[in-house]
Structures are given as C-alpha cells and as structure tokens.
Amino acid sequence: MIAKKKSSRFNSINHDEILDLVIIGGGITGASILWDATLRGMKSVLVEKNDFTSGTSQATSKLIHGGLRYLKNGEISLVRESLRERRILAKLTPHSIRPLGFQLPVYSLKNKIVLGLGLTLYDLLSYDKNFELNSDTIIPNHKFLDIATTQNLNENIYREKLKGSFLYFDYANINPERHTSEFIFSAKNRGGRAFNYTEVISFQKKDDLFEVEILDKLSKAKQILKSRTIVNASGPWADLVDGFSGKPSPTNLVRSKGIHVVLDCHFSPYTHVVQTKEKTHLFIIPWRGKTILGTTDSIYKGDPDSFEVTKNDIWKLLEEANEYINYPFTINSVKYFYGGMRPLVDDSRDSNSTETYSLSRKTSIEDHESSGLKGYFTALGGKYTTSRNLAEKVVDKISVLLYGNKKSCLTENIPLDSGNFSDIPSLSSELRKEFVGESIEKIYFLTQRYGSLTRKILNNKSNKKGDSFRLPNGEHFFEEEIEYSIKNEEIHFITDLLFRRSGIGTTGMLSEYDWNKFVMIYLKYSGKKNIEKEIVREIQKRYMLIP
C-alpha cells in the first residue's frame, strides 16, 4: 500500500502530473541527462537513492581526458569523442577544469618511437582542442624532454636506462563531486526537478505510462510518479534497477573496482604515469597541494550496496606504486581514500577473468522496447568525460519517441550557471569592483571554486562579516559559501557538504580548531543541534581513524 502522507520535498510534483522523463541515478550520467532534457523543455525528475554523486562519479581520478591508452586498442573514435568532449566541458565549466601535464618516462628507443607516434596522433585527433576556450584552459601539444629536464621535473623518477620523457596535457577536474551537482542544480534553476535520498522501489507500465514508486528515505513517505519515459542511469546498480520491470536484464554489466588514496606529499608538478609489469597504468597526480595515487582496475562481484575500500586494498596499491618509483609511499602518508565501481559492458568477456583494465569504455544505450517496455532505456558505460555526449544520444532517442523528431540539443553551447564568465582574472576583477569590502583572497578562492556563482554567494550572505577556516593544504573556506550550499544545494547531512559539495573534507582531516569552526557554521545554517553518531563514524573511516 502507498503511504497516505506525502513528503514535503515532493510538493513540486502534482499528484496527476504526467512527466516526460524520470531519471534514476544522480551521478554524472543522470545529471547530464537532466540538464539536456530540461533545456529541451521536457518535464523531468531525477531521483537518487543516496546523495547526488555519491557513487561512481565521486570515485574518479579527478581527470577530464581523451584516453590516450585507448589508442593501442584501436579505439580511435572513442578517443576522438573524448577529446571533443574534453574541450566542451572546459568551455562550459572553466572554473572546474585546469590544464594538467602528464609525464611519460622513456626507457628505450622502441618506447620512444611508439609513444611519439601515439602522442602525435593524440594531438591530431584534438585538432580543435583550444577552439572557443579562454586563456585559462588552453593546452599545448606534446613535447619530448631530455634526461636532464626530465630529472629536474621529477627527482623521484627511476634513472636507470632513462632516455627522457614525453610531456602532454589533459585536464584536472578539481572537484568532480561538485562539478556533477552543478549540472543538477543548473537544471533545477530552469525547471528540472531532482531529489537525493529518494529510492525507486518499483515501476510498472500501465497503458502508455510508467508508474514509478519512490520512497523519501528521510521522511519514509512514498509517492507515485507517472511518466512517459524512464532512463536508468544508475551505473553499477543498472542491472538491479532493470530487474524492477520483472523481466531479465539484457545488459551484460561488469563492475570494475577502482580505488584511490590522497597522500600528504607533493610528488611532482605533473602527473607521473607508471606502466606496470602487467601493462596497466598507475597515475601519481598532483592535486590541491596533495598527491592522488590510483587507480586499481579489478572485477567486483559483490553486492554494489556493500562496496567498500579495505585497508588491504590500500596496502596493495601503495606496494605496487613503490615498485616503480624512488619515493616511499607509506600508510601513514594516506590522509583520505575513496573508491567506487565502474559500470562496464562487454558481451565477449571471459566469465572467469578478474581483469577489467582492457575493457572498453564505450557507451551503451539499451532500448527495452523488445521486452514490452517502450520508453524505458538503460544508459551505461562510457567515461566521465563523455557523459555529456551520452546524455545527448539518450535524450535524442526520447525526443524522437515523444515528439516524432529530435529537438535541438543545447548542451554544447550553454554554460552551467557557474560557468557563465569569460575567464577567472576578468571575473575576479569585476567582483572586486562590485564587492569593494571583500578581500582579494576571498574572491580568489570563491571564483576558483564556484565561478560565476560567486556573485550569488557574496550577495546572499546573511551577515556582514562571516567566519572562516583553513584546510591542512592552506585553502581558505568562508562562512558565506557554507551558508549558500546549505540553503541551495540539498544538504541533508554534514557528509553531503564535507565530501561532495565543497571538497572541504577530501584533502584530509581538518585541525581540531578548524574542524570545530566548520561544524559550528554547519549547525548554524542547517538548524541541527548536533551531528549524528553514524555520520561521525563515516567521517572517521574516510580518514582511516577506525582500525
């Protein structure tokens, strides 16, 4: 039976409203689909059973890249697609993206020739890489560095038989958790609707409509959504969601486990790429004054709801890295860790294999019409970088189904709410003139994090002089941005703010002094009296404070 009470969070949905689209999953794929569908005028609702971007999208290597390694598999079209989308994301959200160098050491003439040819092709495939971009996001072609320059850039590199190194550029995605949520909140500001902590319990098709039963996990209230179409964008949970239909999932989903650790060191100014004996790659990535080490790539066969990163996983990753560099990564250097599951699709895969590194990152859109579920689609695979293009393809299909033609996709040219500016220096200059009393430091940090949203943050503060605190890496955070996020960005628990909207907690544990200041600000605007014990335990676990 459906509970009579209705969640107040669902007040924007009328009982008899017929939706065009329900999106299941609040990662980058679902967020991009909501943004695209909303811009095309579709009445759309996104639901996510946990917090937005709490699954695969928070577990990336924090890169926007073309996928150089896919060239060796002959996946030229995938690399070209990725490079094209890399440029588009830099144009739409320039504050979230930073040019980042990648250093590939060379130890043989053959290695130099192969890498040189691959990088030349990579540059050719990215012929339009700087088109319509501002000076903040322009990236150069690759170049070869001699031995001396290579060693000067990275003193920890193995020197035996070293011939030099190649340097090429992709982008760092400084805060993919926030970046993802910006697609959702930009869509909401244009009439789209999205609910975190809202779980799909079941769905069925009646005549030409789907009835989707959802549960507000916060209030325990239920609601029925009536929609003409559904997109399953739940990533590693996709086959389980497909099962709600009562029909076997046609999708051959492979879950790949990937973990990263954030280390309290600054290894190199560029990402150092390590090729292992198994011909896989590890990345040692400079990030916010710290170093990210990752990623693993192995099959995960367990319940996706039970996924976790173990200390053994972390030990193995550190030990593997230490085989290939002259720098001792230790467990004591780990200040934060994260992991997730990649949803990959491969019909030809050996069922006994435990390796997922070589599987393609191509996208897959499953149309369930042959199962009697016309209007139900499952979107899978792909990479964070290509999510906008995947969304375009999905919404094209929905547009043809609903209207008989493709409504024009607008996401290639319309920036998110945070990306509506020319370049950071110009934006900062405008804001300094507009907010004369604000410090240069505050405007610097806010524009780096929020782009053109900085104006809203400074305009909407409820007090003249807010408090502030610092992270261990020196970044300065301000009361105004915490207030803005709590009031506008669906913050229900302190972890939503700490790990996903702000990035405050992802470089390591704050000092006791700064932690107390952060908590006091959070409690002030959230209206809560204290932090739930289970949330405190989750925070401690992320920092490896629980044995």
pLDDT, position 157: 87
Average pLDDT over residues 473-497: 96
Q: Would you say residue 91 has pLDDT above 90?
A: yes
| Reported confidence tier of residue 532, pLDDT bands at 50, 70, 90 | confident
Q: What is the pLDDT of residues 277-290, one digit of tens each?
A: 777 789 999 999 99
pLDDT, position 251: 66
**What DSSP letter does each residue of 123-160 carry, written as one string?**
HHHTTTTTTT--TTT-----EEE-HHHHHHH-TTS--T
pLDDT, position 508: 92
Q: What is the pLDDT of residues 389-428, one digit of tens each?
A: 999 999 999 999 999 998 999 999 999 999 999 999 999 9
The neighbouring-strand residues paired with 257 are: 298, 341
- Cβ of 33: how many Cβ atoms within 10 Å? 32
pLDDT, position 14: 87
pLDDT, position 385: 96
pLDDT, position 289: 94
**What DSSP letter does each residue of 376-410 carry, written as one string?**
EEEEEE--GGGHHHHHHHHHHHHHHHHHSS-PPP-
pLDDT, position 214: 97
Contact residues for 19 (Cβ-Cβ < 8 A; gap 6+) = 13, 43, 44, 45, 225, 226, 227, 228
pLDDT, position 90: 96
More confident residue, 540 or 100: 100
Give the residue carrying structure tokens 């009361």.
479
The helix, strand and coil proportions of the chain, stated in percent and rounded to the nearest 5, come to 40, 25, 40
Average pLDDT over residues 201-222: 95
Least reliable range by pLDDT among 11-20, 156-165, 422-431, 532-541: 532-541
Helix (H) or strand (E) holding 310: none
Q: Would you say residue 249 has pLDDT above 70?
A: no
| Reported confidence tier of residue 546, pLDDT bands at 50, 70, 90 | low
pLDDT, position 192: 98
Q: Would you say residue 52 has pLDDT above 60?
A: yes
Query: Taking all residues of the chain, what is their mean pLDDT, rounded to a whole number?
Result: 91
Q: Would you say residue 318 has pLDDT above 80?
A: yes
Q: Would you say residue 463 has pLDDT above 70?
A: no
| Reported confidence tier of residue 537, pLDDT bands at 50, 70, 90 | confident
pLDDT, position 3: 44
Average pLDDT over residues 236-248: 85
503 in Cβ contact with 481 (< 8 Å) = no
Share of the chain above pLDDT 70, in %: 94
Q: Is the pTM of this model over 0.75?
A: yes
CA–CA dist 98, 339 (Å, integer): 23
pLDDT, position 2: 44
Q: What is the pLDDT of residues 443-456, one digit of tens each?
A: 999 999 999 999 99
Q: What is the pLDDT of residues 135-176, one digit of tens each?
A: 899 999 999 999 999 999 988 888 889 999 999 999 999 999
